[in-house]
Structure 1
Amino acid sequence: MPRRSAPPQCAAARMGGRGKAADRATEPLFASETPADAPLAARMRPQTLDEFVGQPHLVGDEGALTRVVRPGYLPSMVLWGPPGSGKTTLARLLAERSGGTWRQISAVTSGVADIRQLVADARQLRDAGGRTVVFIDELHRFNKAQQDALLPHVEEGTITLVGATTENPYYEINSPLLSRLRVYRLEPLSEENLGEIVTRALADERGLAGRVSLSDGAMSALVDLSGGDARQALNIVESAAAVTDAGGAIGPELIAEAAQQRLLEYDRVGDQHYEAASAFIKSMRGNDPDAALYWCASMIAAGEDPTFIARRIVIAASEDVGNADPRALQVAVAAMQAV
C-alpha cells in the first residue's frame, strides 16, 4: 500500500513544536532586569564569567572549566560544593558560554514524569539544531528511579546534565550516572572573595548603590560570620542596611545583630558530621585538650546528639587509653549513662 501522508494539521503541529523549541534556543539565560524587590543576592548574581568571583582552579585563566567549556561544547557534570559557593550561577554562565538552552528543574519537586516531558522537549530542540542544558539543583535528592531515568538521555547526548549538590556525589549519586558525569568541586569562598563581593554590592546600582557603607571592623565581622558563603554575606548586609539611614555606616555590632550567630557548616548525616567526629577522636588520641574541646563544642552547637559524642568518648577510653588508665573507661561509661 502506498504510504499515507500525514494530515496537514499534524505536520503543522510538528513544525509548530519544532518552531517553539527553536525559539527557546534563543531565549536569554538571564532576565534583562532583576526586580527591584528581589533579594540582594539575586540582584547581584553575576551576568558574565568576568564578574564571577572565586573558584580560580575552575574558572581562572588556566582553570579546568575554562579550558573545557567552549562555544558548542559543554560536558555533563556535577558541581559539588558548600552553599553560597556559586554552583547555580556558574552552571548558568557555562550554559551561556556553550550556547545551550537552559532548563532548570528541582530535585525536590520534580518526578519521572517531569523528566520525560523535559526530554521530549529536548528532542524537539535537538531536531531543530539546538542543545538543551538541564540544571538540577540538589541532584542527590533524586531517588534511584529518577536518576536512572536520566541515564540514557545523558549517554545519548539528548541533554547535557549539570547537577549541583552539597553532598559527596560519590556516595549520593548512582554509579552508572556518575560515570557519565565529570565532578568539579567548588571550595568555600575566601575572605578576599567575600570582601570583593560585598564591596561590589555596596557600590553597584543593582545593589545598594552607595546608600550605606561598612566600617573596617564590620567587614571583618561579616566575613567571619559568613563562613565562606556569599549568599549569607549579602543577606546579612541587606538586613543591616535596612535599618541604617542613608549615608550611614554599618558597624560590627549591627552586623552581629543582623547575623544572630555564625552559620555552622555541619550536618548530622553528611561529610561534616563524620569529619568533625574524626577530628574530635584524633584530638583526644593526640592528647590535645583544646582541640578536643573545640570539636566537641562545635558538634554540640550544631545540634549533634550528645549520646553520639559520649559514645565516641567511650570508644576512645576503651581503644586508645585502655590499660594505661583502667578508670578512664569507667568514667566515660558513667558520663554516657548520665547523658
Structure 2
Amino acid sequence: MSRPGKPATGPGASLFAAANKVEPLAARMRPERLEDVVGQQHLLASGKPLGDAIRNGTVGSIILTGPSGTGKTTIASLIGRYTAQSVVVLNAVTDGIPRLREIVAEAERRLDHEGRRTLVVVDEIHRWAKSQQDALLPHVESGVISLCGATTEVPAFAVVGALLSRCRVYALRPLVVDDVGQVITRALHDRTKGVGARELMAAPATIHWLAEQSDGDARRALGALEAVATTLPDGTEITIDALSASLGVRVVAYDRVDVDRNAVLSAFHKSCRGSDPHAALYWLARALLAGDDPQLFLRRLAAIATEDIGLADPSALQVVMTAWEAYRRLGPAEGERAVAQAAVYCATAPKSNRLYVAWRDAREAAADTPSLPVPAHLLNSEMHLRADEARRVPYQYPHDFPGAFVAQSYQPDALQGRTYYRPGAFGEEKRIAQRLVWWAERGGPPVEGEPPAAG
C-alpha cells in the first residue's frame, strides 16, 4: 500500500493510469493527411504555399491564426509528421521560459546526436508576455528550433514584431456548416478512432443541426457527439434533444477584450451608418448577450450621431445622450431597451457626414495657418482700440439689420471665401442649406455642395 500523500506506484498503478487515460474524440479524430483537413484547402491543397512547403519539408517558422476548432493544432501536428521533426507542444498558459530552456537543450542534443530538428508548437502564443516571446528569438533565428505559433487573435497585435518578422503568417478560415458536418460524419463511421463501433445512427438533419450549433468549431461538435455517445446504448439513434442537452448553454462566440469584440462593434457601426436597424439590433444583442458593457455601444452611437448623421438630424445626439442617462438610472434589464431605441433611431435617421468633413477640413486649415491675426473688427473693445488705425473696421451688430444679418468678413483675410461645411440635401441640412443660400445672396460666405431642394 502506498503512503498517504504519495502517488501509487507499481504495475497495478500503471495499468490503472493507462485505463483512465483516454484521449478525447476530437484528439483521436485528428487527420493524419493534409487531404483530410476540412475547410483549409486554400492553404493546404497542392499548389498552395503552406501545403507545398509541408510536403517538401521546407516549412520554417510560421504563425497560424484563426478561430477555435478550425485546425491549427492539427496542421501543426501534420507539419511534424510530414517533415520528420520532433514535435514539442508548449502551452502559453501553463509553460514559461524555464520549460522553453529545457526544450531548447533537448532540441540541441537531438540535432547534434540524431540530426533531427525540433518543431516547437506554442499554443495560444498571444498569452505569452513580450519577454517570453523574445526568449524564442535567438533559437528561431539560429535554426535550433522551428516555431509554429497558434493564436485566435490578429498576429500583428498578439505577436511581437521581431518574432513576427521571422515567421510566415497563415490565416485559417472559419469552418462552414458543411465542413463541421463532414467531421461529425467521419467520427460517426470511423470504427477505429471514432464511435463507429458503437453503430450509433444520426439523421442528416441531426448532423446538420449539430454542425450549425457548433459555430464553426469542430472540437465543440465532436465533444457534444462524444458526450451523447457515452450515454446511449449501441445501435441507438442520436436525437437533436440528446445533443442539445449535451451542448448545454450555447456560449456566444465573442471575446470581450480582443478581436471579436472589435469586429462586432465595427459591424454595429457600419449597420447604423448603412441604415439597417435590423442588423444594428442583432449586433448589439450579440454583444450584450456575451456580457459586454452597453456603454461601449452608447459611446459608439454618440460618435455615429456626429460622424454619420450630423446636422441632417441634430436630435440624434440628444437621443443618444438621453438613452445613456436612462441606462445609468435604470440599469441593464430595462436600460438595454433605451440603448436599442437609440440604435434604431440612429440607424433610421437621415445620414450626412458633412459635419465630420467640415470639422476635419477646419482643423487642417487651423493647423496650416496658426499665426493668422484675428480681423480687427472682431476683437473685443480694448484690443480693437490697440489695433493699427489702418486696420480698424467698425464691427457691425447683426441684430441692427433686417433678418439679423449683415455682410462682413469673419475669417482671417488670407482665408476669405474658404468654406468647410457643405450641407447635404436631406433632413435638417436641407433647411440649413436654404438659409446659407439666403445669406450668400446678401453678401455672406459662398455656399458649396448640393443645391437645396425646394420647400
The Cα shift of 1:140 comes to 1.1
The Cα shift of 1:252 comes to 2.3
Matched ranges for 1:197-212 at <5 A: 197-205=183-191, 206-209=193-196, 210-212=198-200
Gaps of 5+ in 1: 1-32
Q: Which letter does structure 1 place at the counterpart of 2:231?
A: V
Asked whether 1:78 is paired with 2:78, we answer no
The Cα shift of 1:272 comes to 1.1
Task: Kindly provide the CA deviation profile for residues 138-178 of structure 1, in whole angstroms up to 9, marking residues without a partner as x.
Answer: 11111111111111111111111111111111111111111
Checking the alignment, whether the CA contact within 8 Å between 1:227 and 1:263 is kept in structure 2 is: no
Equivalent residue in structure 1 for 2:128, among 142, 147, 150: 142
2:46 aligned residue: 61
Task: Kindly provide the CA deviation profile for residues 14-42 of structure 1, in whole angstroms up to 9, marking residues without a partner as x.
Answer: xxxxxxxxxxxxxxxxxxx9978332212
Checking the alignment, whether the CA contact within 8 Å between 1:78 and 1:183 is kept in structure 2 is: yes
Q: Which letter does structure 1 place at the counterpart of 2:175?
A: L
Q: What CA distance in whole angstroms lies between the structure 2 residues aligned with 1:65 and 1:212?
A: 37
Q: What CA distance in whole angstroms lies between the structure 2 residues aligned with 1:184 and 1:34?
A: 38
1:5 aligned residue: none
Asked whether 1:178 is paired with 2:164, we answer yes
Q: What CA distance in whole angstroms lies between the structure 1 residues aligned with 2:47 and 2:250?
A: 34
Task: Kindly provide the CA deviation profile for residues 181-211 of structure 1, in whole angstroms up to 9, marking residues without a partner as x.
Answer: 0101111112222111111111112221243
Asked whether 1:334 is paired with 2:319, we answer no
Asked whether 1:310 is paired with 2:279, we answer no
Q: Which moved more, 1:148-157 or 1:242-251?
A: 242-251
Q: What CA distance in whole angstroms lies between the structure 2 residues aligned with 1:184 and 1:259?
A: 30
Q: Which letter does structure 2 place at the counterpart of 1:243?
A: T
Equivalent residue in structure 2 for 1:278, among 256, 260, 266: 266
Task: Kindly provide the CA deviation profile for residues 78-115 of structure 1, in whole angstroms up to 9, marking residues without a partner as x.
Answer: 11111101111110111111111111111112222222
The Cα shift of 1:324 comes to 2.2
Checking the alignment, whether the CA contact within 8 Å between 2:35 and 2:45 is kept in structure 1 is: no
For residue 79 of structure 1, give the secondary structure of its aligned residue in structure 2.
strand
Instruction: Sort the Cα spacing of 1:322 and 1:52 in 2 relative to 1 into closer, same or farther, 3 A.
Output: closer
1:109 aligned residue: 94
Using structure 2 for the length normalisation, give the TM-score: 0.64
Q: What CA distance in whole angstroms lies between the structure 1 residues aligned with 2:58 and 2:271?
A: 47
For residue 96 of structure 1, give the secondary structure of its aligned residue in structure 2.
helix
1:224 aligned residue: 212
Q: What CA distance in whole angstroms lies between the structure 2 residues aligned with 1:163 and 1:92?
A: 12
Checking the alignment, whether the CA contact within 8 Å between 1:236 and 1:259 is kept in structure 2 is: yes
Q: What CA distance in whole angstroms lies between the structure 2 residues aligned with 1:170 and 1:313?
A: 28
Rg comparison, structure with higher value: 2
Q: What CA distance in whole angstroms lies between the structure 1 residues aligned with 2:39 and 2:45?
A: 9
Q: What CA distance in whole angstroms lies between the structure 1 residues aligned with 2:34 and 2:306?
A: 54
The Cα shift of 1:180 comes to 0.3
For residue 322 of structure 2, give the secondary structure of its aligned residue in structure 1.
helix
Q: What CA distance in whole angstroms lies between the structure 2 residues aligned with 1:281 and 1:162?
A: 35
Matched ranges for 1:232-271 at <5 A: 232-271=220-259
1:40 aligned residue: 25
For residue 184 of structure 1, give the secondary structure of its aligned residue in structure 2.
strand
Q: What CA distance in whole angstroms lies between the structure 1 residues aligned with 2:267 and 2:82?
A: 41
Q: What CA distance in whole angstroms lies between the structure 1 residues aligned with 2:165 and 2:19?
A: 37
1:130 aligned residue: 116
1:323 aligned residue: 311
% same residue: 43
Q: Which letter does structure 2 place at the counterpart of 1:221?
A: W
Q: Which letter does structure 2 place at the counterpart of 1:133?
A: L
The Cα shift of 1:63 comes to 2.5
Equivalent residue in structure 2 for 1:298, among 286, 304, 309: 286
Checking the alignment, whether the CA contact within 8 Å between 2:181 and 2:207 is kept in structure 1 is: yes
Task: Kindly provide the CA deviation profile for residues 283-322 of structure 1, in whole angstroms up to 9, marking residues without a partner as x.
Answer: 1111111111111111111211111122222222233222
Looking at both structures, which has the greater relative contact order when contacts are Cα pairs under 8 Å and sequence separation is at least 6? 1
For residue 53 of structure 1, give the secondary structure of its aligned residue in structure 2.
coil
Checking the alignment, whether the CA contact within 8 Å between 1:107 and 1:139 is kept in structure 2 is: yes
Checking the alignment, whether the CA contact within 8 Å between 1:72 and 1:100 is kept in structure 2 is: no
Task: Kindly provide the CA deviation profile for residues 205-261 of structure 1, in whole angstroms up to 9, marking residues without a partner as x.
Answer: 222124311122211211111111110111111223333332222222332232234
Equivalent residue in structure 1 for 2:176, among 190, 213, 216: 190
Gaps of 5+ in 2: 1-17, 328-455
Matched ranges for 1:2-17 at <5 A: none
Using structure 1 for the length normalisation, give the TM-score: 0.85
For residue 307 of structure 2, give the secondary structure of its aligned residue in structure 1.
helix
Q: Which letter does structure 1 place at the counterpart of 2:69?
A: G
Equivalent residue in structure 1 for 2:105, among 113, 120, 124: 120
Q: What CA distance in whole angstroms lies between the structure 1 residues aligned with 2:218 and 2:20?
A: 20
Aligned residue pairs total 307
Q: Which moved more, 1:195-204 or 1:307-316?
A: 307-316
Checking the alignment, whether the CA contact within 8 Å between 2:50 and 2:59 is kept in structure 1 is: no
Checking the alignment, whether the CA contact within 8 Å between 1:84 and 1:230 is kept in structure 2 is: yes
